[in-house]
Amino acid sequence: MTERAFQDYYPDDVSHCYGCGRLNEKGHQIKSYWDGEETVTHYTPEPYHTAIPGYVYGGLIASLIDCHSTGTAAAAAYRAEGRGMDTEPALRFVTASLHVDFLAPTPIDGPLEIRGKIKEIKGKKVIIESTLSAGGKVCARGEVVAVKMPDAMKPKA
Ligand SMILES: CCCCCCCC/C=C\CCCCCCCC(=O)SCCNC(=O)CCNC(=O)[C@H](O)C(C)(C)COP(=O)(O)OP(=O)(O)OC[C@H]1O[C@@H](n2cnc3c(N)ncnc32)[C@H](O)[C@@H]1OP(=O)(O)O
């Protein structure tokens, strides 16, 4: 059996996110996994994800960092409580802050690797540092503050 990605544990009613929802057929549907103390996902951009020819649009880079980091926040919160992502009560995180530094142009002609590290986990907040690399070179770095979804923020049909 292959390992389930963090996003595979999101219930159907919150699986429509453009970046990570497995039920959004037009979305990126990223799949994030643990790799030791870090998390990792891979994504291969399409030719239409262009900024200038040959290079990836920064909004896509931000989106990948955003969703990989919020997924990492959820996984880290479950891990900190010593339980699996399929156990109750559910821990759901949304983006409070997304900061991205674009360090070098990102080539569009190959897979991208996004790796996340947990910088802080405290109360209802998790801070994640993520890098996005192409061909082994770090092209962007992000910091995401993810906060537990308030009970009042219920999905709208
Ligand atoms: C509308 C989307 C809902 C989707 C459903 C989610 C279900 C999740 C399930 C499966 C995942 C699938 C989906 C993944 C999502 C992918 C990522 C997105 O695109 S999410 C969409 C964009 N984000 C928003 O629309 C949030 C809008 N903002 C808010 O609702 C609130 O501002 C919220 C929840 C983020 C914080 O509100 P408070 O009242 O709960 O939090 P306080 O108590 O004020 O702060 C808690 C801690 O967070 C810090 N904090 C809050 N906002 C911050 C900010 N902007 N920057 C830095 N720190 C911040 C505070 O300083 C505080 O830290 P101290 O505990 O004191 O250390």
Domains of the chain plus CATH, in order, are 6-148 (3.10.129.10)
Quote the CA–CA distance of 110 and 151 in Å, as a whole number: 40
ipTM of the complex: 0.91
> How many Å lie between the centroid of ligand 1 and the Cα of residue 55?
31
Burial of residue 10, with CB atoms counted within 10 A of its CB: 0-12 exposed, 13-18 middle, 19 or more buried: buried
pTM above 0.80, yes or no: yes
> How many Å lie between the centroid of ligand 1 and the Cα of residue 147?
4
CB 108: neighbour CB atoms within 10 A? 22
> Tens digit of pLDDT for each residue in 8-62?
999 999 999 999 999 999 999 999 999 999 999 999 999 999 999 999 999 999 9
> Is 90 close to ligand 1, i.e. is its CB under 6 Å away?
no
> Tens digit of pLDDT for each residue in 66-123?
999 999 999 999 999 999 999 999 999 999 999 999 999 999 999 999 999 999 999 9
Task: For residue 34, give every residue at least 6 positions away whose Cβ sits within 8 Å of its Cβ, in sequence order, or none.
Answer: 75
